[in-house]
Structure 1
Amino acid sequence: MACPSTPIVFLDLDDCAAGAIWPSVDRPRQPINRFVFAELLSQCAASGASVHLLTNRPPGQLAVVAHILGGPARYHLAESGLSAWLPDANRAVVHPNYRDFARHILPEVVGRLRSHFGLDWEAPVIEEFGTRLATVTVFPLGSSEGEVRALCERCSELLADLPVEVRQGKGVDIGPAGVTKALGCRWAEELHSALHGEPIEWTRVLYVEDSLTGLEAAQYVAARGGTVAAVANANPEFRRAVAGLGGMLCQRPFEEGVLE
């Protein structure tokens, strides 16, 4: 169990830590720089930090990394806080407030997508894991910005009458409307108390992020005395916001898997 003085790091997995796993318009698919990532985790371990990984990807990615990582962290947040990976229990859990969404709305979303796009090899890739998760992502065969944008517009039309948010990222992310990563911060307070046996001490937290999708979470952490950091290649608007919060602005030129 972590002692009250243990540093806690909330680390965005996709871009800040493990490198760009998925293709996008400005960054092709590439593997994790495992040597640099291992060095980063080693430094965190040497300082006694509890590293909680964050991602908007499925918990399965967290499972692989978290099992290798080990350490004192007993939960990692996926799907922007809609689900969590619990290493000790070896399972993913959906946020209690969104289990009905996963059971009833998500199957309708997936059904419409599969009916419209089909399942042949030329169809967009629909990444879904049933009611174990609360989101679904659709990837076009190509990775150009135009292809992703067109797919996002089509998905929005197909799902216009459902209480979902369709967001353009590296693919098309579809989940409950109105959810931000701040949901994960609030859930972390519950998970930390339940799994670590003590309340989370926000003044010991370093939240590392690169995207505007994490702005509300950054504000949540900063308001409770935590520290926020924007990596060097973060969204410029996000970096300005972090500066306004009195956070850290990493300056080191970006290299996959490197974090100052």
Structure 2
Amino acid sequence: MTEKIALITGASRGLGRNMALHLARRGVHIIGTWRSAAVEAASLKAEIEALGGKATMLQLDITDRASFEDFSHTLTHRLQADFGRERFDFLVNNAGNGLFSNFADATEEQFSSLIATHLQGPIFLTQKLLPLLEDGGRILNVSSGFVRFTLPGYSIYAAVKAAVEVLTRYMAVELGTRQIRVNAIAPGAIATDFGGGAVRDNENINAWVAQGIALGRVGLPDDVGGAVAAILSDEMAWANGTTFDVSGGQLL
């Protein structure tokens, strides 16, 4: 049986790194993208190889649409050279940024940054990579729990992520002729460096967030990485066009 290959954007740190490691432990080979964290990307590659897997790290700025054509050519070459394949199996649109701003104070620059990173980039990168994605493959988009619940300061971010969830359903319908499943995942509060790492590093914030989660604690990267590996597995092959809430029951 052909071994699976997953391409994860923003794989060098945070949740993307954890997703890559969970998939690698299940025997999935990894192509990860990084924007500026070259050292972290090299460290992830070494860790995956220590697990017995294969990994290739490619530089990509998800906001630079003009680079997607060259990236697709580079990916084609690396697939053949590193994996002996012409196509890959899983695409995880994970790369992202977090911007905190109350609605009344949000700037056009912040809005443009969120659109470019979380919506425009994934749309046009996925378009460009569709010829390289296997029929029967899977796409997983990363949304956010902020689409379901509300906290002041995340209005624009949440609105963009809501668009990702709608897009996911339409992609599932339109790519169904190729048997490509498209789903999304909506993490709640996770202890990472996202948004400056406040949930991870500030004990008071961590405790305040935890009291609103049914399971009584803030999520850990492994909670999301494990969920992603499960959703992309054959056991979840009949799930399509849906968003999985992975928040421990936050603000239910």
TM-score (normalised: structure 2)? 0.39
The structure where helix makes up a greater share of residues is: 2
TM-score (normalised: structure 1)? 0.38
